[in-house]
């Protein structure tokens, strides 16, 4: 069988794709890069906003046309598969296999079935499963929990992924050991709310460390770089910032979603913290990590948001001084309390406010990135950039970075890079050698010169 997986959504979905892909390979499947040569196409879906749902709908329409011309098994997994909206879509487009986020280990049973297979249960053994390490990659994701015990009024995650279940620390460390043995140098710990690790349904689990202590355990494992996402301010503790400061492997990068700067909107969102409490967390982080890189999530145009509410979001953005932000216009999702009980704002209002926030973010990102010019940053190079002769990667603070390929630095690895230029969304630098001087760049032949110097063919 030739299988192809299309992944939408968050890093958790990327991790789940790797988990299912490893299962498919163990069954003897070949993973292919194109729908055109696949016998089985699996869509790993996202339901957090309307746009990824529409992308799934469009692709399912294309797959149905292919299936009408030749044998093709169509599968759908992820958050959308768990919802009635996704199940209706699956019926309409002739999906053969439907797997919710808690039933991914049913993929083998599903492929063996001779009829439509829908697995939507939350399977406990999923939380104990340790997938093999990704081959040939310097980066890896590592899930430490699944689900969420918070119930933000705009969020569909508690419905699609269920209540929070923390993985046992032994399983986490065992998976980390496999990743390190495979050459992984940067690990990102994943969870809907990593700060609440070990506290399921409001109670701390016996034998489980706090998230801060888990960070210390992971940071002492021998891994070079550790990141984590995502954090809920309600559960953030100063000890997390302290653990980051006293564990060199943990990157000085914190993604702390605020969603709104207005207490009134935060109450309507059921976020369980105030603006003042959020800013106190930021102060704790900066106390322990003066050079921290801060990122956030912000929803613009939540139902009932007034111009004054939005102004408070802009002022909070300036008070914190974020390095970057994921910004979205509110998208009403069926099944959420905000969809049921609140009236949406006009699209043009949301769009106009989002444009203003993006402009504010670009200004702050430009200032923050410009301050890095002339400094030396540790950059994990992932591979070739879109332009020939250049490589792409990211700093410990998650800044996307482009460098020319250099003698001794022509492929993946972790290198010191002097930042020479910066834009709001990208840094450009030069790879340095052990002596702190720039490494000589790999010569790049001009295409026109190459054509002129090529030997003439004899007809």
DSSP sequence for 107-126 = HHHHHH-SS-EEE----GGG
The predicted pLDDT at position 443 comes to 86
Specify the number of domains making up the chain: 3
Are residues 336 and 212 both part of a single domain? yes
Look at residue 193 in the predicted model and tell me its pLDDT.
95
Token pair listed for 39: 């016998």
Nearby residues of 43 by Cβ (< 8 Å), 6 or more positions away? 5, 6, 8, 56, 59, 60, 74, 75, 76, 77, 78
The pLDDT score that the predictor gives to residue 449 is: 44
Contact by Cβ (8 Å): 396, 377:
yes
Q: Is 152 annotated as a binding residue?
A: yes
CATH number, domain with residue 25: 3.40.50.12160
In the β-sheet with 253-255, what is the strand arrangement from edge to edge? Answer: 253-255, 293-300, 324-329
Query: 443 and 329, same structural domain?
Result: no
Residues 141, 188 contacting (CB under 8 angstroms): yes
Q: What integer pLDDT is reported at residue 121 of this predicted model? A: 85
DSSP single-letter state for residue 13: H
**Do 388 and 316 lie in a common domain?**
no
342 and 297 in a common domain: yes
Query: Is residue 458 a part of any domain in this protein?
Result: no
Residue 459's pLDDT band (cuts 50, 70, 90): very low
**What domain range is 439 assigned to?**
372-453
Q: Which of 70, 99, 124 is the last residue of a domain?
A: 124
Q: Is 46 annotated as a binding residue?
A: yes
Q: Give me the pLDDT at residue 329, please.
A: 97
Helix (H) or strand (E) holding 11, with range, is helix 11-26
Specify whether 107 is located in the same domain as 227: no
Which pLDDT belongs to residue 83?
A: 95
Average pLDDT of the residues in 406-431: 96
306 in the same domain as 414: no
Residue-level pLDDT at 144: 97
Judge whether 459 lies within some domain.
Answer: no
Q: Is residue 251 part of an annotated ligand binding site? A: no
Q: Are residues 162 and 272 in the same domain?
A: yes
So what's the pLDDT on residue 458?
34
Give φ, ψ of 297 to 5 degrees: -115, 140
Q: Say if residue 328 is in the same domain as residue 206.
A: yes
């Amino acid at each position: 069988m030739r299988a192809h997986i299309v992944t939408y959504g968050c890093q958790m979905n990327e991790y789940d794709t790797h988990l299912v892909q490893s299962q498919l390979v163990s069954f003897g499947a070949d993973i292919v890069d194109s729908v055109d040569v696949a016998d089985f196409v699996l869509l790993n879906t996202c339901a957090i906003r309307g746009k990824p749902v529409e992308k799934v709908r469009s692709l399912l329409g294309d797959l149905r046309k292919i299936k009408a011309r030749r044998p093709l098994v169509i599968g759908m997994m992820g958050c959308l598969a768990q919802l009635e909206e996704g199940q209706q879509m699956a019926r309409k487009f002739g999906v053969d296999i439907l797997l919710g986020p808690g039933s991914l280990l049913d993929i083998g049973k599903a492929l063996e079935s001779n009829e439509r297979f829908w697995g939507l249960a939350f399977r406990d053994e999923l939380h104990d499963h340790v997938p093999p390490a990704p081959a040939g990659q310097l980066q890896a994701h590592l899930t430490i929990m699944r689900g969420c015990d918070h119930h933000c009024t705009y969020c569909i995650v508690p419905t699609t992924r269920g209540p929070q279940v923390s993985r046992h620390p032994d399983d986490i460390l065992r998976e980390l050991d496999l990743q390190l043995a495979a050459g992984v140098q940067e690990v990102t710990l994943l969870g809907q709310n990593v700060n609440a690790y070990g506290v399921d349904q409001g109670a701390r689990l016996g034998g489980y460390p706090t998230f801060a202590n888990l960070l210390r355990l992971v940071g002492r494992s021998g891994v070079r770089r550790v990141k984590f996402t995502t954090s809920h301010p309600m559960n953030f503790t100063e000890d997390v910032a302290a653990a980051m400061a006293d564990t060199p492997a943990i990157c000085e990068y914190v993604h702390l979603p605020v969603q709104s700067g207005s207490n009134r909107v935060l109450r309507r969102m059921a976020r369980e913290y105030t603006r003042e409490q959020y800013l106190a967390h930021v102060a704790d982080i900066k106390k322990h990590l003066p050079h921290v890189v801060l990122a956030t999530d912000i929803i613009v145009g939540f139902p009932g948001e007034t111009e004054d509410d939005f102004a408070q979001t802009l002022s909070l953005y300036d008070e914190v001084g974020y390095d970057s932000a994921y910004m979205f216009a509110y998208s009403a999702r069926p099944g959420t309390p905000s969809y049921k009980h609140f009236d949406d704002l006009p699209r043009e209002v949301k769009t106009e406010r989002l444009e203003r926030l993006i402009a504010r973010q670009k200004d702050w990102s430009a200032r923050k990135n410009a301050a890095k010019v002339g400094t030396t940053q540790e950059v994990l190079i992932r591979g070739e950039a879109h332009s020939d002769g250049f490589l792409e990667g990211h700093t410990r603070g998650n800044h996307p970075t482009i460098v020319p390929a250099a003698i001794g630095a022509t492929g993946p690895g972790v290198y010191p890079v002097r930042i020479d230029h910066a834009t709001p969304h990208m840094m450009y630098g030069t790879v340095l050698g052990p002596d702190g001087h720039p490494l000589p760049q790999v010569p790049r032949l001009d295409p026109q010169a190459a054509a002129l110097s090529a030997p003439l063919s004899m007809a």
